[in-house]
Amino acid sequence: MLGGYPAPATLRAVKNWPYDKAKELVYALKSVWYYEDYFTESEDCPGIFFASTGGWSGHEELIDAAQQNLMIWNAVYMAYRRGGHYILSTGYACYGGSDGSAEVWFELARNKPKKEDYAQT
Number of domains within the chain: 1
Q: Is residue 119 part of a domain?
A: no
Q: Is residue 3 part of a domain?
A: no
Q: Is residue 121 part of a domain?
A: no
Q: Is residue 52 part of a domain?
A: yes
* pLDDT tens sequence across 83-109: 889 999 987 655 544 444 444 555 555
Q: Is residue 118 part of a domain?
A: no
Q: Is residue 120 part of a domain?
A: no
Q: What is the pLDDT of residue 112?
A: 52
Q: Which amino acid is at 10?
A: T
Q: What is the pLDDT of residue 95?
A: 52
Q: What is the pLDDT of residue 88?
A: 93
pLDDT by position in tens, the chain (length 121): 567 799 999 999 999 999 899 999 999 999 999 998 999 998 777 888 999 999 899 999 999 999 999 999 999 998 888 888 999 998 765 554 444 444 455 555 555 544 454 444 3
Q: Is residue 96 part of a domain?
A: yes
Domain, as residue range, for 76: 8-113
What's the pTM? 0.76
Contacts 24+ apart (CB under 8 A), 59-64: 59/33, 59/34, 59/35, 59/84, 60/84, 61/5, 61/6, 61/11, 62/6, 62/10, 62/11, 62/14, 62/29, 62/32, 62/33
CA 23, 44, 40, 80 torsion: positive or negative?
A: positive
Q: Which residues of 3-30 are buried (b: 16+ CB within 10 A; e: fewer)?
A: eebbeeebbebbeebeeeebeebbebbe
CA 101, 17, 24, 61 torsion: positive or negative?
A: negative
Q: Is residue 14 part of a domain?
A: yes
Angle between helices 8-15 and 22-32 (to 10 degrees): 160
